[in-house]
Every structure is written in C-alpha cells, then in structure tokens.
Structure 1
Amino acid sequence: MSIPAPPEKMMFQLSLRRRGISDQAVLHAMEAVPRDRFVDPIHRDGAWRDTALPIACGQTISQPFVAAYMTEQLGLRADHRALEIGTGSGYQAAILSRLAKWVLSVERFKTLADSARQRLEDMRYDNVEVMVGDGLALPEAVGEFDRIIVTASVAEVPQSLLDRLAVGGVMIVPVGPPAGRQTLLRLVRGQDGLVRKPLVDVRFVPAIPGTAREL
C-alpha cells in the first residue's frame, strides 16, 4: 500500500499547477526533489511553502514557483548539457538533474559548494558536478551548454555566459539593478544571433564577480 503524500506537499504541487506550471516533466521533477532536504533545519517546517528561504552566506533558496517557472522556460531534454550559475543549497541543480543529461553548477562560496556537493552525492544525483568558481568568468575549457540558468541577478547579460551558450541553446537570467525591478529574460541563440524575450518581474540576490575569499 502506497503512503499518501503529506498535506503540505500536496498543496505545494497543487499551487504550482494553479499558478500555471503545466510541463509534466517539470512537475514530476518538482515533486520528486525533497525541498525539505535543501533548507536549514530551522526552516524545515516551511520547506513546502511557496516562498524563498534564507541559507548560509547570505543567500537564499528560491521560491518553488520561480524554480519551476525558470526550469519550464528552459525546455530541457534528456540529452542536454545544462549550466547553473549559483548553486546555493543545490535545490535547483537537483531539479535540473532529473531533466538533463548532465549539470554543471558553479558557486562562488566554497561553504555552499561543499555542502551542496555532499548533499547531492548523498541523495545520488550523480549527473551533477558542483564547482567552486566565478560563474561570470568561466574558462573556455568548460565547453558549451544547451541550457544555462542564472540564479542571481545581473545588471546586463554577461558576454562570458553568452559565449558558453551553444547554437539552439536557451538561457534564463534575471536582469536588473540589485535594489530595483529585475526582469527574467529568456535568450535563444539561433544561427543568426540572439532572440531575447522578457518574461516576468523577479527579485534575486545580485551576482557578484569573483570567488568568496573565506566562505
């Protein structure tokens, strides 16, 4: 006999559908990834609520709807290489891992990268690699990616990331001032250049160049 999902998890899934998330693969991924494993113990009672929550190093774990919406806009396939800028707790990387062939997640804070890497390994998300580095200045050696998701805001889309986006690739990135209105952009690289489409207003912590010295 199967064990029914707890009420808060059922409401979590219902909320995503009510707010317009319709891609079944994304919904299944959101259902399969246990968000309560990616938040600090003090916040676990609210892990299934549709709200962002604080994590270490002054960062946040994204609101579930935003995570689902950004993922849906990527249009991931099982043969895709995906790049995430801003690992945080590893929650978004775990979602991506269920939809893509391989995920590289880059985090500037070593503390966050190490804990996320261990968490993902313990939960057997084996197709995710977490790297400590400057996500705004990646070396050419990392190659090109079919999909790129940036989970911190930038004033303008970094050329360094555009250089990593393959032809036919899609990037989702919040663009705008740190203390003002940010817009989620969807960029598609075609043979003749980029097509940019504004999606929704969002609020993310700002992306900071370089790697953190101590954390």
Structure 2
Amino acid sequence: MATRLLEQEGFAALVLRLRAESITNKGLLNAVEETPRTLFAPAPYQKEALSSRIVPLDCGSFMEGFDFAVRTLHALGVKPGQRILEIGTGSGFTAAVMGRIAERVLSYERYKTLVINAQASLDKASIRNVIVRQADGSAGLVGEGTFDRILVTTAFDSLPRVFSDHLVSGGVLLVPIMVSETECRMVRLTRTGSRFDREDLFEAPYLPIVPKMAAFL
C-alpha cells in the first residue's frame, strides 16, 4: 500500500511538472501511470526514481530521471501498432512504457546483469511484448528488419548512420549526440523516403556508447 501511494504521489507530481512543458499526451501518460516505476528501480532508490534525479544501476549504468524519461518518449512519439527498437535497455522502464503503447519492442543491452534485472521487472509488470536481448547494438543489427521508432539511450560522438536503414519511411530515430566537448543533446532524425530531417532537442545526460557485449557483467 505504501509503495502504491508513493507511485500515485510521484505520478501526480510528474504530471504537474510536465504540464509546464506542454506535455499532456494522454496515451503516453496513461502508459506511464500503468507502469510502476518503482518495479524498475533498485530497492534503496525507489523514492528517488519518482523524481527528476538520476538513479544508479549495476554495471556503471543509470536510470534516467522520471521527467527526462517521459520527455524522451514524448519526443519519440510512439503509437499503437508500431514496431520499436531500443538500444540500451538499462532498467527496462522506457521499454516497458513503450510496450504499453506499441505492438512490439525489441531492446538491446550489452550487460547480461541488466538484461536479467530488466526482464524480471517486465515480468512483474506483466508486460509480454517487450523482448530484451543481450547484444551489441552499437554497429546496427542483422536480420531484424525495419522499425517505426528507434530509441538509443547511450551517446554517440556523431549521428550514427548505421541505424538509418532500419527506419521505415516516416520513422523516427532519437539518439543522444555530443554536440560539443561538454554538451550532449537529444537529436531526432525523421526519415521521409530517402531524406532525413534532423532536429536538436533538449540536453541529455551523458552515458557513452560502448561497443561489443560485456564479457563478465
């Protein structure tokens, strides 16, 4: 009961903060409300996970702030019936929210520990259309076809063209890019036929992309 109340209070506070940014997408907010964020947070940080603060995870990773996670999903614009690719599963929370909306989500994570933890959290949340796979997502993917939306949660030094062939026309790629030595920004790439339109959006926390699967963690 205490955790449920914590979730309700945290969500209500989030909605008020997001309203100031004109983020009022009802479908997205319903999916967020239906996905208990505390299920995806390490036990000592469940309260912090409902704030805008970053929460540490295993393997040197982190759980993005609540506000940033929803702002990112709003910018991605996931819709029902879509096929989604995520590079960098982390806690599994963003994949879970996308799974509430989309038809299917495939999430790649290089750390086996994070894959196991995220899958356990997804099972607790009763989300069955998200597939979490330990894989190296830095160099693209083979045999997975195309996607309507691609979300990359780890930063590149420049725009990774390796994902462009995996986007359908009208598809969207969202990825953190280092735009200077000290600034990382979320960049949105929209494909229209063979053309790609770039938009630099908001500042993003810096977690660099690391190639290859982790050998031990």
**The TM-score by the shorter chain falls in which range?**
over 0.9
Residue segments in structure 1 that go unaligned for 5+ positions in a row = none
Kindly indicate whether residue 177 of structure 2 is the aligned counterpart of residue 175 of structure 1: yes
CA RMSD after TM alignment: 1.8
Kindly indicate whether residue 138 of structure 2 is the aligned counterpart of residue 147 of structure 1: no
Kindly indicate whether residue 213 of structure 2 is the aligned counterpart of residue 211 of structure 1: yes
Which of 128, 131, 134 is equivalent to 1:129? 131
TM-superposed deviation, 1:61: 0.6
1:42-67 alpha-carbon deviations (Å, 9 max, x no partner): 11132211211111111011111111
For 1:6-21, what aligned pairs fall within 5 Å after superposition?
6-21=8-23
SS of structure 1 residue aligned to 2:154? coil
TM-superposed deviation, 1:6: 4.2
SS of structure 2 residue aligned to 1:142? coil
Moved more, 125-134 or 183-192: 183-192
Aligned to 2:103: 101
Amino acid at match of 1:197: E
TM-superposed deviation, 1:20: 2.9
Distance in structure 2 (CA, Å) of the matches to 1:83 and 1:152: 13
Distance in structure 1 (CA, Å) of the matches to 2:90 and 2:73: 16
Contact preservation (8 Å) 1:178, 1:206: no
TM-superposed deviation, 1:178: 9.4
Contact preservation (8 Å) 1:153, 1:178: no
Kindly indicate whether residue 41 of structure 2 is the aligned counterpart of residue 39 of structure 1: yes
Label 1:114 to 1:7 Cα distance change in 2 as closer, same or farther (>3 A): closer
Percent identity of paired positions between Structure 1 and Structure 2: 33
1:21-54 alpha-carbon deviations (Å, 9 max, x no partner): 1211111122221111111111113221121111
Amino acid at match of 1:102: R
For 1:40-119, what aligned pairs fall within 5 Å after superposition?
40-119=42-121
Aligned residue pair count: 213
TM-superposed deviation, 1:119: 1.7
Aligned to 2:158: 156
SS of structure 1 residue aligned to 2:24? coil
Amino acid at match of 2:23: I
Contact preservation (8 Å) 1:136, 1:161: no
Amino acid at match of 1:152: T
Amino acid at match of 1:11: A
Amino acid at match of 2:158: E
Amino acid at match of 1:127: N
SS of structure 2 residue aligned to 1:47? helix
Distance in structure 1 (CA, Å) of the matches to 2:106 and 2:21: 29
